[in-house]
Chain A
Amino acid sequence: MPSPPNSQISDLNRPLTVQELLQKRGKEWDLEIVTGHDGLDSVISTAELNRPGLALAGYYEVFSAQRVQIIGLTESSFLKSLSPDARKFAIEKTLGFTIPCVIVTSGQEICTELFDTCKARSIPLLRTIQITSPFQSDLGHYLERRLAPSWTVHGVMMDVFGMGVLIRGKSGVGKSECGLELIERGHRLIADDVVVIRRVGKDELYAETPPNIGYHMEIRGIGIIDVELLFGVRAVREDAKLVLMITMEPWDPDKEYERLGLADRYTTLFDCRIPEYILPVEPGRNIAKLVEVAALTQRLEDQGINVAREFDQRIMNAIQKKAAPMRQFSAIDRLRRSMEQD
């Protein structure tokens, strides 16, 4: 059996070159290479963009040269207003820094000074007819996703009722079996065993199916199975936002497990705060069902409803002989109220 091509694996944290940007989005964004073909392998290392207006005007104290430089209508008009000598000076000085690439937007005309400098310094000079602001927004969004740092973690990633749930636990604790049971119950597999986690922005984690592996699972006693082939396309999903972590561990009689749900339960994964439920595993315990209930409980929690706290409030009110509080979001309460009104 030939070894799988290794091109995909390095996708994780692989540097982004201007060449790749052009390949991936060039057509969609009408990007054309004006000059600087020699510099197409230069690396874009940050998702932030820069409008070099102030630098062109002579202020270099704070100049984010490492960012992609966007020359919009403002910069173009300013350059046009300068005398040829002043223009040459401004452009040469600004492009004297190490710059990954310059993009002229709104289909602006490119002055000879800009063309010559980019050519001489092998800085890729691209142009698009797209309007600056929407283009910047698209490019920024793409770069943020593409340059998001990524890691792999050991676990099973599932979409449970549309929520991304990462199931973790030691080898052999039954994560994959739990995943299979969840698939049987109509939920979807994102990844088994190896999960790619990408951090987008400051505090959002996205989980993806790893390259090479796809929706294969290793089940002890059976071997490797292909979930998409066995259960169909409804049983799989490519990626999801990670909103809940389930940690499975063998039942430890000496350990106190959460019985009420009053305490906040969070863990930190790659600097992001993620709700975590620790589920003790015992033979015969239906973990898949517990994962479903945990996901639904977390969804209520995300909507601002903590059942344990509300229950506690009811009990306290009952102790003090007050009426039970109206729960605002409960369908049963709403029904009861409307029936009382009739």
Chain B
Amino acid sequence: MTLSKVQNTDTGHCARVVICNGLGLHLRPASQLVKLASRFETCEVTLTKNGQTINAKSIMGVIMLAAEQGSEILIEAHGDASAEAVAALVEMVEGGFGET
């Protein structure tokens, strides 16, 4: 599987990913994602779906997106290590959070 490309933005990096696990971003994957995003303390990470942008370090925010299988999400990060943050999140989402 080829991962979505991480691109440069004015203030950091971004990538578009498609949610591939069957149940979408429910509680468990959301908390996995938030845990991972929170590890990158030096940068701000946001997720955008349907024009709605939320803080990727907030469980409630990620849950609010209610991202179902097949929906597209924009991951953006700015600050130090933004490329690594985006790449790590892309890998997690496209790996299906270890679900099917």
Contacts and interface: CB of A to CB of B under 8 A. Distances in A.
A210 B64 contact: yes
B59 interface: yes
A5 B27 CA distance: 14
A333 B23 CA distance: 65
A152 B46 CA distance: 12
Given A3-B25, A13-B51, A194 B64 contact: yes
Contact of B26 (A3, A171, A210, A216): A3
B88 interface: no
B26 A192 contact: no
Interface in B34-91: 38, 49-55, 57-61, 63-69, 71
Contact of B60 (A2, A5, A192): A192
Q: Binding site of A, secondary structure by majority: helix, strand, loop or mixed?
A: loop
A192 B66 CA distance: 17
Interface string B2-39: 00000000000000000000011111000000000010
Contacts of B52: 9-10, 12-13, 152
Given A152-B52, A194-B58, A3 B64 contact: no
A3 B68 contact: yes
B66 A1 contact: no
B25 A9 contact: no
Nearest to B57: A171
A3 B23 contact: yes
B42 to A, nearest CB: 13
A9 B68 contact: no
B67 A6 contact: yes
Contacts of B59: 193, 218, 224
A218 B68 CA distance: 22
Contacts of A213: 60, 63-64
Interface size of A as a range: 20 to 34
A137 interface: no
B61 A6 contact: no
A171 B37 CA distance: 12
A8 interface: yes
A152 B61 contact: yes
Contacts of B27: 1, 224
A2 B25 CA distance: 10
Contacts of A1: 23, 26-27
Contacts of A224: 27, 59
A8 B68 CA distance: 13
A13 B53 CA distance: 12
Given A3-B25, A152-B53, A216 B60 contact: yes
A224 B31 CA distance: 11
Contact of B54 (A194, A216, A217): A194
B63 A152 contact: no
B60 A194 contact: yes
Contacts of A217: 60
Interface string A181-195: 000000000001110
Given A4-B66, A210-B64, A212-B63, A152 B25 contact: no
22 contacts: A1-B23, A1-B27, A2-B26, A4-B26, A4-B66, A9-B49, A9-B66, A10-B50, A12-B52, A152-B52, A152-B61, A154-B54, A171-B55, A193-B60, A193-B61, A194-B54, A210-B64, A212-B63, A213-B60, A218-B60, A224-B27, A224-B59
Interface of B: 23-27, 38, 49-55, 57-61, 63-69, 71
Report the 6 A-B pairs with minimum CB-CB distance, sorted nearest first.
A3-B24, A193-B60, A6-B66, A194-B61, A154-B55, A194-B60
Given A171-B57, A194-B54, 20 more contacts: A1-B23, A1-B26, A1-B27, A2-B23, A3-B25, A6-B66, A6-B71, A8-B66, A9-B50, A9-B65, A12-B52, A152-B53, A152-B64, A154-B54, A193-B58, A193-B60, A194-B60, A194-B64, A211-B64, A217-B60
